[in-house]
């Protein structure tokens, strides 16, 4: 599904990531951890072609990212749900319309079922906020809305960057339970987080691999997790 082979990313003459080798198989669940600034977000960006590797190879859905056209990139992104730390929306349309936008851009607007959208909003705790504009949402609400938008297309892969960073413990558990449920449905999940408690709790629910970025390199986390 996603394959990195000796991939690296260099910015301004400094190695952010180097010699990364990783394979995300269909249906797998991965956590990515590491200290702040270690390159977790950069690695996620490499996984959906927001960044190009400066060395090595990255393949997304069997396609080498260097050989992809812009249309290819758009096509693979429809199969990947991304939740950013700083989630961005179209600020002039409602949260509900933002949620259904991925369907609209992929020509599947006729598949929009407002009942399903309501269920999704309810699941992420935004039942009352569907008609609000994104700038009216708090940080936590924006993250939940971003997660809802990421999964509305039923993507094969979900990349989440600190998806529980701005929400309380109860909501964090609920969001992780949603991701676990999606994983049981066969979706591949990669979550970048520095919250070790969250990782420990989730590992009791699902078989997850924990990867750590340390000194620009990717390692399998130890038994302490």
Partner 1 sequence: MDRLRSIFEVFSGDTNADRVVPPSGFTSRLTSFTAGAMAFLTVFALALSLATGRLADRWDAELARTSTIRIAAPEGQLAAQSEAVLEVLRTTPGIASARVMSDAEQRKLLEPWFGPDLPLDTLPVPRLIEVLEEGKGPDMAGLKLRLSAEAPGAVLDDHTRWRKPLVDAATRLRLLGLVSIMLIAGSMAAMITLAAQSALAANGQVIGVLRLIGARDVYIARAFVRRFTLRALIGAAIGTALAMIGVAFMPAPAEEGAFLTGLGFVGWHWFLPLIVPVIAAVVAFWATRLAAFRALSRLS
Q: Does 70 bind partner 1 (CB under 8 A)?
A: yes
Q: Could you tell me which residues are beta bridge partners of residue 210?
A: 31
Q: How far is the CB of 150 from partner 1 (least distance, A)?
A: 9
Token pair, residue 45, equals: 């960006």
The rounded distance, in Å, linking the Cα atoms of 95 and 147 is: 12
Per DSSP, the three-state class of 3 is strand
Question: 214 vs 4, 32, 33, 217, 225, CA distance in Å?
Answer: 17, 11, 9, 5, 15
Nearer to partner 1, 124 or 211 (CB): 124
Nearer to partner 1, 90 or 113 (CB): 90
Instruction: Lay out the site mask for partner 1 across 35-54 (x = CB under 8 A, - = otherwise).
Output: ---------------x----
Query: Which of 2, 89, 213, 216 is close enough to bind partner 1 by CB under 8 A?
Result: 89
Q: How far is the CB of 21 from partner 1 (least distance, A)?
A: 26
Query: Which of 5, 59, 75, 203 is close enough to bind partner 1 by CB under 8 A?
Result: 75
Which residues, numbered 98-157, are part of the site for partner 1 (CB under 8 A)? 101-102, 104-107, 109, 149, 153
The rounded distance, in Å, linking the Cα atoms of 25 and 23 is: 6
The rounded distance, in Å, linking the Cα atoms of 125 and 102 is: 20
Contact by Cβ (8 Å): 150, 191: no
Q: How far is the CB of 152 from partner 1 (least distance, A)?
A: 9
Q: How far is the CB of 225 from partner 1 (least distance, A)?
A: 30
Query: Which of 6, 74, 138, 186 is close enough to bind partner 1 by CB under 8 A?
Result: 74
Burial classification of residue 27, based on how many CB atoms lie within 10 Å of its CB (0-12 exposed, 13-18 middle, 19 or more buried): middle
Contact by Cβ (8 Å): 27, 186: yes
Which residues are at the interface with partner 1 (CB under 8 A)? Answer: 50, 70-71, 73-78, 82, 84, 88-93, 97, 101-102, 104-107, 109, 149, 153
């Amino acid at each position: 599904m996603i394959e990195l082979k000796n991939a690296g990313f260099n910015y301004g003459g400094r190695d952010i990531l180097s010699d990364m080798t990783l394979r995300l198989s269909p249906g797998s669940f991965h956590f990515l951890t590491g200290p702040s600034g270690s390159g977790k977000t950069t690695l996620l960006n490499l996984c959906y072609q927001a960044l190009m590797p400066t060395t090595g190879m990255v393949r997304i859905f069997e396609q080498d990212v260097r050989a992809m056209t812009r249309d290819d990139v758009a096509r693979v992104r429809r199969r990947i749900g991304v939740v950013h730390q700083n989630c961005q929306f179209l600020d002039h349309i409602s949260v509900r319309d933002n949620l259904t936008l991925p369907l609209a851009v992929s020509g599947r607007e006729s598949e929009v079922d407002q009942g399903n959208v309501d269920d999704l909003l309810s699941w992420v705790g935004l039942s009352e906020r569907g008609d609000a504009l994104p700038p009216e949402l708090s940080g936590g609400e924006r993250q939940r809305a971003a997660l809802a938008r990421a999964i509305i297309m039923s993507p094969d892969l979900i990349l989440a960057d600190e998806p529980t960073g701005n929400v309380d413990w109860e909501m964090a558990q609920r969001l992780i339970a949603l991701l676990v449920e999606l994983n049981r449905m066969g979706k591949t999940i990669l979550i970048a987080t520095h919250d070790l408690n969250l990782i420990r709790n989730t590992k009791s629910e699902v078989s997850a691999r924990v990867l750590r970025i340390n000194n620009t390199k990717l390692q399998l986390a130890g038994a302490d997790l």
